[in-house]
Structure 1
Amino acid sequence: MRSIILGVRRAAFSTFFRSPAIPTNRPRFLRPFSNMASITVHNSLTPGAPVPFRPKEEGKVSWYACGPTTYDLSHLGHARNYISTDVIRRILQDFFGFKVNFVMNYTDVDDKIIIKARQRRLLELEKEKTYTPEQIRELVFKAFQTYAENSLPLLVAESAALDENNYAERKDAAYGRVLAGGTLSGEGKPSDAEAKIKMHLNNMDAAAKSLMQGTGFDGAEDILLPYLDSLYKETFDTSNQSIFTDLTQAMEKAFEDDMQALNVLPPDQITRVTEYVPQIVKFVEQIVEKGFAYEADGSVYFDIAAFEQAGNTYARLRPESKNDKALQEDGEGSLSKSLTGKKRPGDFALWKKSKPGEPYWPSPWGLGRPGWHIECSVMASDKLGEQMDIHSGGIDLAFPHHDNELAQSEAYFHQCNKGEHTWVNYFLHMGHLSIAGSKMSKSLKNFQTIQDALATTYTARNMRIVFLMGRWNDGVEISPDMRKQADSWETTLDNFFTNIKAKLSAAETQTPTEGIKDLSITEGLVEELKQGKKDLNAALSNSFDTPTAMQVILRLVRDANIYMSKPSANLQAVEGVARWVTKIVGILGLDSNAKAPYDGLGWSSATSAANVDPKIAIKPYAAAYSKVKNDVMALNLPETPEFKALLEETPDAEFTEIETSGEKDIEKLALPYLRATSRLRDELRAVVSGLEPTTKQAVLALSDRIRDYDLTDLGVQLDDQVDKPSLIKFVPAAKLVAAREEKAALAAEKVKQKEEARKAREKAEEEKWAKAKVSPQEMFKNDPKYQDWDADGLPTKLADGTELPKSQSKKLKKDWDRQKKLHDEYLVKFGGKA
């Protein structure tokens, strides 16, 4: 009967809440929710309002994303970029129904990688040398001074040499304004420049401490690395490139682990620079042949002037940055400052001559390595052809990286007399995550790694919610208010899913009349759901406006909660809303255990999997039921028909029925045992009032234990209801245990405060009667301020022999009267005993 009722109810639900008719020749999870033609997107190539999104091939999207430079662990800034990218990708393919071909690269040869790998190996070699403590100190001291000269010149502006003893004083004098949160000039707001100064000062702080404490290399690594590199880089043997690949492969694996932990979909295709060097050489050769690049001293540079003279546009993304020398130098890399032969400062390297201590590959121009920008042009073009729909990355890549990519790619595909070539149709740039006004950056060391963030601060879902609260193309600085807003949003959905699942589960155990009141579903939430679907489609069509989408979901859930609280609420209507919300949060990537087409109800269970053995999975629940049943029987309660029927229940049979259906969801498989356990507890609560005190106490203790320990430890919450069976809710065990421990801690604190108050009262009482024991005639006799007293013991003269002032005499008389009253109470209480 239970399965028949469930089937009827599901049929009613699907009849009313199904989506509009959609083509059936497309996989279900790829069918669009709305018209693709209505989508607009913020395109960095056309700044301003969002523009219509029309891929070159109907129903398909080709997309290239700049991946990480694999030289260090990824941080929250990377998480912002890749989660935002993942959200847009999911919306395109799972909401609008596009088939997305997503390509991403790993930059595994780059100035930062070369420096990091080389410095790391040089420090290892240095530590293997036989040094005396004095020699180590001398090495660290030279590195300390050199680091200051190169990075913090104001520290060495004075004539006296800088050392660890005068460092702190000079630091405060030279950079006090920056350390206090201001700017170096004293004007404007702090920026990356100030963040970099703080980073350098932190490195110097650690080194100064190392020198003062004589700890050798420990603590001084950050100043030693560049110093050792300056000493030995030209003698470093790079014929064996494993020194670089060991680093990049380890960081690539760490990045993939981070992305998996964040529920970021893996790319459809991955490319690596080191696997494309021959293709890069050929690509550069063609640009040279077309007259848009030139060779100089073994390097090859892009000729911006020639490119523009041919009718092309340079710096299409950031024309205002075209002549920004600092950005140009940053784009060339720190190892390229000594390269010579450029015709103009803005020309950028396509191929770099390798210097001693750098990896190298053969080319027509001699041994060298790819420039930073050329790698993406070659790999993206190889995978996606001469034109792609989307290219994406962080906003910091817009100039020079992406502008240079565009220029060299359009030069490669340029054809005379055919106008400018369009290599990318839509450039999507993800906004920065900033810290105190500066972008989060490895180079500034102002970051929290993804690993650390997930271990200490966020869950993957919570982090994604925080980023969904802001537009993908806007900068964001995470604030306490943002965190609270994200926590509240998640808690609201958590409770909604938990409550509707519990109520539906309870309804399935009732008779058809009780459980299914109105299969037509003609009232309740219908208009709210229709409006929610319409508003969500409008939000996501408007350049993937997730902040508005999150508000639409929250509004609909709150409407459903209000409706669900009504006695006449139709649970099927609420279920319809819950299933639609489930689908949307699945599409947004907020459920790491869910898979397309996201047709479940609520967050999916981490234990639901194809390889789950139901009999093994339900053992803890069956064991809990068996224990409770035995404990109830041990109470020897009066046998009633209700208790007899409950104790004769066989949840194993119901479990077998569910298992036979092929169900793999542990929550559903466990329900027969949980329902039987809950019913036993409900019956205990029903009969407890009629029991004698000792048995009553034992029953109440068992009832509390079942709820607070037996089931809580399994991740099951029982909500007691008046004249109704308890609601069974599945909540993460850790959350329930934490709540139990918090409740216990509050109770313990209350007991502690009560005991402290009792002790304080006892002490006050003791002090009161100790004072009361003294008779008023004696209370002033031992006070050295006085030297004469009357018959009642009241002072008449001060210690110097002068008469007691009348005002003071009046005050002492009042004190005497109070003491007499207190002493009289003492005599009454203790029977006149002294």
Structure 2
Amino acid sequence: MASISVHNSLKPGPAVAFVPKEQGKVSWYACGPTTYDLSHLGHARNYVSTDIIRRILMHHFGFQVNFVMNYTDVDDKIIIKARRNRLLELEKEKPYSSGQARDLVFKAFGAYAKSNLPLLLGDDSAELTESNYQQRKDAAYSRVLSGGTLSGEGKPSDAEAKVKMHLNNMDSAARALQNSTGLEGAEEVLLPYLDSLYKETIDTSDQTIFTDLTQAMEKAFNDDMVALNVLPPDAVTRVTEYVPQIVAFVETIIQKGFAYEADGSVYFDIAAFEKAGNTYARLRPESKNDKTLQEEGEGSLSKSLEGKKRSGDFALWKKSKSGEPYWPSPWGLGRPGWHIECSVMASDKLGDQMDIHSGGIDLAFPHHDNELAQSEAYFHKCDHGEHTWVNYFLHMGHLSIAGSKMSKSLKNFQTIQDALATTYTARNMRIVFLMGRWNDGVEISPDMRKQADSWEATLDNFFTNTKAKLSEADAPTDGIKDLSLAEGGAKGLAGELEQAKKDLNAALSNSFHTPEAMQILLRLVRDANIYMNDKSIQPNLQAVEAVARWATKIVGVFGLDASAQPPYNGLGWASEGAATSANVDPKTAVKPYATVYSAVKEEVQGLSIAEAAVQALLDQQNPDAEFAELEKTGDRDVEKLSLPYIRATSRLRDELRGIVSSATLEPKTKQAILALSDRIRDYDLTDLGVQLDDQTDKPSLIKFVPAARLRAAREEKAALLAEKAKQKEEARKARAKADEEKWAKAKIPPQEIFKSDAKYQDWDAEGLPTKLADGSEVPKSQVKKLKKDWDRQKKLHEEYLSKFGATS
């Protein structure tokens, strides 16, 4: 087993040796989502980066990984979201008049400003209205809206992002008031207002109000993870399925003297824990007394709970208030605290110690520190020293936007669904994350996107070209597995491959340093491209194939091919949609290719070409029989299955191109052949994702390229040709206009050109001015210039007479 080091949040500083408690096996618990809303790119960063490390451990280093993840399906955010949604539904069912609806929105408008944007209320006694809102907004928050900070110092952060979010909500509500749209458009300010009025009226004995939300969001999250090619957990836990175990866990902590009950809630006693020789806030000691983080960790619904001995003590069990879900416990009706759930579920699945615990960096304090404390309290034994519940804490760096963490609560996010529909492919998004260290924060920039696109295009073109060259050479379909040192130039490429393997292993051993691994892979592929395209040698395709197969293995390990399975012995990655097409019946899958061949064959027969080579192909080619033999092998690779039809089509086209210069062909037939040849290449096969590269004295090279990309290239080429044609036509018109103006001027005899000029009043016999308009003599300095102009006009007029004649 390789020697691996890893950045461990429990031991800040350089990466430390990774030594699992059981050789060859890794136990791992990951904090899953709180299922109250759709997941966004920040979640993608966390879960994709986690998936990459998991895949590296399993498929590169060979560990057996037991990966457990939870779903938080009871939480303050879930309670608030579900309850408010229900209250809004009830409110919309009421028979409000337009005036009553407006009055409700107006009250919510003011309450929202008072709670979240107090500077809008101003210093005067005038009430905030939709009419004066914009003026007050500009006066109070212009600095933030222009990219500054509330204080006027430093850089914008979460506080400024939150202000912008609240202002956006107020903007919508102001428009609703101005346009008299009733409740529509004002939902974000209405929700907290309705909650403040009616939250205690919600009957929570029927918990479907909450489970309907959490189950829908859990499904959406799972769909997102499938779309991102994130491996499913080996085990999944949910808080609502663990309430009895949570109660028992809390009881044990109380019995050991590390927690206390107060007014129906149970709190962890940090002082008692530390007095027993334990360490609190091991991950973030500097945040131990951060009241803001402590309050966030407790949740917004817990502010009114009383009985804490110290402000830093955190809830293990919360007394439920009206409008909140509840379960029975020795302390009364209540619900689990946020942190306790992970301790109980992780310990249930992985025991009193695990190798890895992971999550986003924003969970380090208080969530993970509190998890550690309460779990170590639970397993604490007198005279045994401090218990180690987690050996390695891995924290994924968060994704930021405009300097602020991407967050649901800040509403500065793009959902995964939207990102995949509009901006990214799953592969491209994963490449972006691979280019950053998993434990570093990242803000996706245009330069980063450009680098990711370039990396993907380089690998994609290499795989495409390698497969095309192998197919052209009729190389064995199963290929080779390893590269022995070949003769000539291939020997150097083989050496580069072996060095790349060592370098990549070293990079991944260094705390899964994927940015370095990506560069190693890129350098090797570029070297292979140079070797493959070297005109001075005959490249050894076996050497190139060995590089391509190793690159395929690594991109498979990194999860960049949703269709691939370990041990990733294929060649290249599948195009988008390949996983779906692989499940299609072979005859159905190749039907479009067969249809193209049949149509082309019929058109060629219709041309009645007498050349023997063409006739031989028409008579001898039998792609149906070739396909039937391939089908018998059980292969479901659509590219391989379709090759008989593509090759047959390409061969016919190549022969047609070869005879088009024949003197025996009629001009009309030549035109038809050229048109057919271009159409086969640019439309028939392009629309099927097949690119034909014409080669001199060799058959066309067949490449499989996503049809969307080929169509985009075709459209770009057409647009470029259209632009050139447009420019050419504009140039023609400009020349025509210039000619028209030239001959219009040339038509005038030189004796007449100055006589229409009001600057002069007298001319000599040849029409040269002698006196200016004021009667004075034309200055000698002008006479010389006027004579030159007269001579030019004489020459131009003579040219005109020569071209058009005296009568024109």
What TM bracket, shorter-length normalisation? Answer: over 0.9
| 692-701 or 98-107, larger mean C-alpha shift | 692-701
Determine helix, strand or coil for the equivalent of 1:104.
strand
Structure 1 519/45 Cα, relative in aligned 2: closer, same or farther at 3 Å? closer
Structure 1 stretches lacking a partner, 5+ long? 1-34
Counterpart in the other structure of 2:556: 586
Out of 243, 247, 253, the position equivalent to 2:209 is 243
Q: CA deviation at 1:80?
A: 0.3
CA contact (8 A) 1:80 1:467 kept: yes
Counterpart in the other structure of 2:317: 351
CA contact (8 A) 1:777 1:794 kept: no
Determine helix, strand or coil for the equivalent of 1:270.
strand
Counterpart in the other structure of 2:17: 52
Determine helix, strand or coil for the equivalent of 1:618.
helix
Superposed CA offset, 1:119-153 (max 9, x none): 12222222222222222222222222221111111
Determine helix, strand or coil for the equivalent of 2:442.
coil
Q: CA deviation at 1:219?
A: 2.3
Q: CA deviation at 1:770?
A: 3.9
CA contact (8 A) 1:780 1:795 kept: no
Q: Which amino acid aligns with 1:229?
A: D
- Aligned pairs for 1:220-299 (under 5 A) are 220-299=186-265
Is 1:647 aligned to 2:619, yes or no?
yes
Structure 1 461/795 Cα, relative in aligned 2: closer, same or farther at 3 Å? farther
Counterpart in the other structure of 2:638: 666
Q: CA deviation at 1:104?
A: 0.5
- Aligned pairs for 1:558-569 (under 5 A) are 558-566=526-534, 567-569=537-539
Structure 1 232/519 Cα, relative in aligned 2: closer, same or farther at 3 Å? closer
Is 1:191 aligned to 2:157, yes or no?
yes
Q: Distance in 2 between matches of 1:520 and 1:227?
A: 74
Is 1:106 aligned to 2:71, yes or no?
yes
Out of 425, 430, 439, the position equivalent to 1:459 is 425
Structure 2 stretches lacking a partner, 5+ long? none
Q: Distance in 2 between matches of 1:584 and 1:488?
A: 18
Q: CA deviation at 1:192?
A: 0.8
Q: Which amino acid aligns with 1:707?
A: R
Q: Distance in 2 between matches of 1:610 and 1:594?
A: 11
Q: Distance in 2 between matches of 1:805 and 1:405?
A: 102
Q: CA deviation at 1:654?
A: 2.1
Out of 438, 449, 452, the position equivalent to 1:472 is 438
| 764-773 or 645-654, larger mean C-alpha shift | 764-773
Q: Distance in 1 between matches of 2:474 and 2:280?
A: 66
- Aligned pairs for 1:503-652 (under 5 A) are 503-508=469-474, 521-522=486-487, 523-524=490-491, 525-566=493-534, 567-604=537-574, 606=578, 611-641=583-613, 643-645=615-617, 647-652=619-624
| 608-617 or 63-72, larger mean C-alpha shift | 608-617
Q: Distance in 2 between matches of 1:509 and 1:290?
A: 70
Q: Distance in 2 between matches of 1:501 and 1:490?
A: 17
Superposed CA offset, 1:586-608 (max 9, x none): 11100011111211111136158
Q: CA deviation at 1:795?
A: 9.1
Determine helix, strand or coil for the equivalent of 1:690.
coil
Superposed CA offset, 1:349-382 (max 9, x none): 1111111211111111111111111110111111
Counterpart in the other structure of 1:730: 704
Counterpart in the other structure of 1:92: 57
Computed over aligned residues only, the root mean square deviation of the Cα atoms, in angstroms, reads: 2.4
- Aligned pairs for 1:648-797 (under 5 A) are 648-691=620-663, 692=665, 693-773=667-747, 788-790=761-763, 792=767, 794=769, 796=771
CA contact (8 A) 1:76 1:449 kept: yes
CA contact (8 A) 1:629 1:647 kept: no
Q: CA deviation at 1:808?
A: 7.9
Q: CA deviation at 1:117?
A: 1.2
Q: Which amino acid aligns with 1:583?
A: K
CA contact (8 A) 1:351 1:368 kept: yes
Out of 368, 377, 388, the position equivalent to 2:354 is 388
Q: Distance in 2 between matches of 1:807 and 1:240?
A: 106
Q: Distance in 2 between matches of 1:298 and 1:464?
A: 46
Superposed CA offset, 1:717-736 (max 9, x none): 11111111111111111111
Q: Distance in 1 between matches of 2:63 and 2:471?
A: 36
Q: Distance in 2 between matches of 1:509 and 1:190?
A: 59
Q: CA deviation at 1:422?
A: 0.8
Q: Distance in 2 between matches of 1:645 and 1:444?
A: 66
Q: Distance in 2 between matches of 1:812 and 1:140?
A: 82
Q: Distance in 1 between matches of 2:66 and 2:413?
A: 31
Determine helix, strand or coil for the equivalent of 2:65.
strand
Q: Which amino acid aligns with 1:600?
A: G
* TM-score, structure 1 as length reference: 0.91
Aligned residues: 791
Structure 1 829/590 Cα, relative in aligned 2: closer, same or farther at 3 Å? same
| 666-675 or 311-320, larger mean C-alpha shift | 666-675
Q: CA deviation at 1:813?
A: 7.2
Determine helix, strand or coil for the equivalent of 2:473.
helix
- Aligned pairs for 1:55-94 (under 5 A) are 55-94=20-59
- Aligned pairs for 1:114-193 (under 5 A) are 114-159=79-124, 160-193=126-159
Superposed CA offset, 1:451-506 (max 9, x none): 11111111000000010001100111111111111111111111111111111111
Structure 1 507/217 Cα, relative in aligned 2: closer, same or farther at 3 Å? same
CA contact (8 A) 2:770 2:777 kept: no
Structure 1 801/736 Cα, relative in aligned 2: closer, same or farther at 3 Å? same
Superposed CA offset, 1:644-677 (max 9, x none): 2553222222222222222221111111222221
Q: Distance in 1 between matches of 2:702 and 2:219?
A: 41
- Aligned pairs for 1:311-460 (under 5 A) are 311-460=277-426
| 488-497 or 153-162, larger mean C-alpha shift | 153-162
Q: Which amino acid aligns with 1:109?
A: V
Q: Distance in 2 between matches of 1:796 and 1:662?
A: 102
CA contact (8 A) 2:769 2:778 kept: no
CA contact (8 A) 2:484 2:494 kept: no
**% identical equivalent positions:** 77
Q: Which amino acid aligns with 2:525?
A: V
Q: Which amino acid aligns with 1:333?
A: G
Q: Distance in 1 between matches of 2:793 and 2:302?
A: 92
